[in-house]
A and B are shown apart, each in its own frame.
Chain A
Amino acid sequence: MFWNLPFITVVALTLIGLLTVLLKKNLIKILLGINILESAVNLFIVALGYREGGVAPIFTLAPSELMVLPTPQALVLTSIVIGVATSALVLSFAMVLHKKYGTVDIDKIRRLKE
């Protein structure tokens, strides 16, 4: 049970993130929802690579013990970097929209439909 805790957290974070994206009207809050979803998937991947009692996977002068998997950590680092780029782009879109439309409420950002 205890070792499933990270995965339960992943599910909880996913739900929180999805609900934020679907229900909130403020663009900044939607971005935060996306960031929570990204954290959920990052946590999921890191938790997959964890081995009980493992040490950090650094081979130099390491004691010959069980190590956690290094690959998921590399994946998550890449994913975090991509997440930063994503956030930066969405925030810059929000800035331009606020300048042009005077609002970041997505219900009011729908001039394309007209």
Chain B
Amino acid sequence: MTLADFIVTNAPALVVAIPLFAAFTCPAVGRISKATRNLWVMGAMLLTAAVAFILAFRVFTGGTAIYVFGAAAANLAVPLDSGGIPIRIIFTVDAMSAFMDIICAIAGVSVLMYSLSSESNNTSLDGYYTLFLLMIAGVFGMVSTGDIFNFFVFLEILSLASAGLIAYRIDGGLAVEAALKYFILSTLGAILVLFAIGIYYGQYDALNIAMIAQRMQFTMLDKIALVFLVAALAMKCGAVPMHFWTPDAYSMAPSSVTAFLVVASQASLYGLFRVVFTLYNVTLNCVIVGWIIIILGILSMVVGVTMAIPQKDVKRLMAYHAISQTGYMLLGVGVGLAVLGNAALSSAFGLMAMEGGIFHIFNHAMYKGLLFLTAGAIFYRIGTRDLNRMGGLGHNMKYTMVFFVIGALAIAGIPPFNGFASKLMIYESVYLFNPLLAIIAMVVSILTLASFVKVFHSIFMGPKLPEYADVKEAPLPMLVGMGILAAIVILFGLFPQPVVDMIVAPAAHALVDQGGYIAAVLGGA
């Protein structure tokens, strides 16, 4: 077996194993020198991203990839002597998981590149990089795993690492306060998830997601488990009315961490979709659950944007916009779910709404990450996040300003940026479902634009302020990190159709196709 074969076969495990290994060796490597450690961390991240791309390519060309830990062969999900029961921990990477893998790989590389210089003035960086790589491993694990208990474990790894990083810059206790809020809510959410897992195990004797999906009866207990999972995961992705941790955590974390927390929230969103579509699919009452998700989405959109407008802290403002944008994804996928039982409506606009929602996950991770990184670059140079104390920075930070404009236009859904591409899909399809919802979505976009025009004006426009007369442009690694994201924002905005055809549509189809997921693991249909 050659090295290439080895990597392709073991790719699902390697995307988690490489960051885990690099994370725990990072403090030891850090003893040698700072440069060695940076090289080590960056190398591990690039390697992980490369493996993630190989894995994604394999999934998009060859169908769902499975990896069984400790089995005789990587794809032997059901041992020959077990009587048809999958007993081992399994990673099931279908098109939706591969889609999330790509997001995590791109965001991970650019954010890590950025933090090489944005965090360089801080102490105990070994711990920072260890936790950062643990976050990466947590996200990859959550989106790859095909075992529901394993999902819980990665969820907890992600929560622990994120909480540590939010509190990383103690900031007179403020950051710790934000991290505490996030972590207590996350822990309560995780306990709910574990209760749900217990309920499934008690009824179906299985932890394998495909096995549970196959045996799903939708009893009263399953309804309770569904409520637990939806509540916990909607809270983790920051949907209104469980959004209170989001502005605090997003604004107090270092900006590089915030940019990756966006991806972490979306891993929870992925979990929510996986539960609803793969575990339950048509056995549940699609219309009611679909409408619950739509209402969560609409509430998030409206409350997020109205709370954002009066904010004075630039990162807090962006955090409320992140809540608002999460609403679009919930809206798109919720509409897809509401018409799932009806084949005619589903093919007329349901799938397109889902594609719009899923495409928006990718776009959101890119432009929101970019916006948080620009906010971080400004904070790095002038040391404040208060909009009232900024002004005239466009004279000195030209590249940062350009990146900010790209991100702001993308989040407001202005062509030719990527936010427009996915929002247009959502508007068109949701309008066919219920015109009122589409109009609300458009109004929220307009308010978003208004809010960002104000922010842009107060940060960059106006005369040079005397106290910021000798502010310099952000350092090169930070610009490179932002540049990667900005390039993708523009590229996906100019050519949305190939992207939708290549990765978004397969992801949406994989999510809807419960039978395909079960067949990929258990064999047969």
**A residues in contact (CB < 8 Å) with B:** 21, 27, 30, 34, 37-38, 41, 44-45, 48, 71-72, 75, 78-79, 82, 85-86, 89-90, 93, 96-97, 99-101, 109-112
Chain B residues lying within 8 Å of A45, measured Cβ to Cβ, are 194, 197-198, 201
Chain B residues lying within 8 Å of A99, measured Cβ to Cβ, are 173
Answer whether residue B482 sits at the interface, using C-beta atoms and an 8 A cutoff: no
Chain A residues lying within 8 Å of B170, measured Cβ to Cβ, are 96, 100
Smallest beta-carbon distance A37→chain B, Å: 5
- Provide the bound-state CA to CA distance between A88 and B202, in Å: 30
Q: Decide if A86 touches B252 in the complex (CB within 8 Å).
A: no
Q: Decide if B201 touches A111 in the complex (CB within 8 Å).
A: no
Please give 6 more A-B residue pairs, beta carbons under 8 A apart, in addition to A82-B153, A89-B160, A93-B180. Answer: A34-B188, A48-B198, A71-B201, A75-B149, A79-B194, A109-B180
Answer whether residue B177 sits at the interface, using C-beta atoms and an 8 A cutoff: yes
Answer whether residue B94 sits at the interface, using C-beta atoms and an 8 A cutoff: no
**Which single member of A21, A41, A90 contacts B194 (CB below 8 Å)?**
A41
**Which single member of B163, B164, B177, B188 contacts A97 (CB below 8 Å)?**
B177
Q: Given contacts A44-B195, A45-B194, are A97 and B180 in contact (CB under 8 A)?
A: yes
Chain A residues lying within 8 Å of B174, measured Cβ to Cβ, are 111-112
Q: Decide if B173 touches A34 in the complex (CB within 8 Å).
A: no
**Can you list, as one digit per residue, whether each of B197-211 has a CB less than 8 Å from chain A (1) or not (0)?**
110011000010000
Smallest beta-carbon distance B237→chain A, Å: 20
Answer whether residue B156 sits at the interface, using C-beta atoms and an 8 A cutoff: yes
Answer whether residue B167 sits at the interface, using C-beta atoms and an 8 A cutoff: yes
**B residues in contact (CB < 8 Å) with A:** 149, 153, 156, 160, 163-164, 167, 170, 172-174, 176-180, 183-184, 187-188, 190-191, 194-195, 197-198, 201-202, 207, 248, 252
Q: Given contacts A37-B188, A111-B177, are A89 and B183 in contact (CB under 8 A)?
A: yes
Q: Decide if A97 touches B176 in the complex (CB within 8 Å).
A: yes
Chain A residues lying within 8 Å of B198, measured Cβ to Cβ, are 41, 44-45, 48
Chain A residues lying within 8 Å of B184, measured Cβ to Cβ, are 21, 30, 34, 90
**Which single member of A30, A85, A86, A101 contacts B173 (CB below 8 Å)?**
A101
Q: Decide if B177 touches A109 in the complex (CB within 8 Å).
A: yes
Q: Which 7 A-B pairs have the closest CB atoms?
A: A100-B173, A48-B202, A45-B198, A93-B180, A96-B176, A41-B194, A82-B156
Residue of B nearest to A87 (CB): B187
Smallest beta-carbon distance A24→chain B, Å: 12
Smallest beta-carbon distance B481→chain A, Å: 27
Chain A residues lying within 8 Å of B164, measured Cβ to Cβ, are 89
- Provide the bound-state CA to CA distance between A79 and B156, in Å: 10
Among A38, A41, A71, A109, max chain B CB count under 10 A is at: A41
Q: Decide if A111 touches B153 in the complex (CB within 8 Å).
A: no
Q: Decide if A34 touches B187 in the complex (CB within 8 Å).
A: yes
Q: Decide if A86 touches B167 in the complex (CB within 8 Å).
A: no
Residue of A nearest to B164 (CB): A89
Smallest beta-carbon distance A111→chain B, Å: 6
- The 5 listed contacts between A and B (C-beta, < 8 Å) are A48-B201, A97-B173, A97-B176, A100-B173, A112-B178
Q: Decide if A86 touches B187 in the complex (CB within 8 Å).
A: yes
Smallest beta-carbon distance A69→chain B, Å: 8
Residue of A nearest to B173 (CB): A100
- Provide the bound-state CA to CA distance between A21 and B192, in Å: 14
Smallest beta-carbon distance B182→chain A, Å: 10
Q: Decide if A21 touches B188 in the complex (CB within 8 Å).
A: yes
Q: Given contacts A37-B188, A97-B176, are A90 and B201 in contact (CB under 8 A)?
A: no
- Provide the bound-state CA to CA distance between A39 and B156, in Å: 16
Q: Decide if B172 touches A100 in the complex (CB within 8 Å).
A: yes
Residue of B nearest to A79 (CB): B194
Smallest beta-carbon distance A94→chain B, Å: 8
Chain B residues lying within 8 Å of A112, measured Cβ to Cβ, are 174, 177-178, 248, 252
- Provide the bound-state CA to CA distance between A55 and B38, in Å: 52
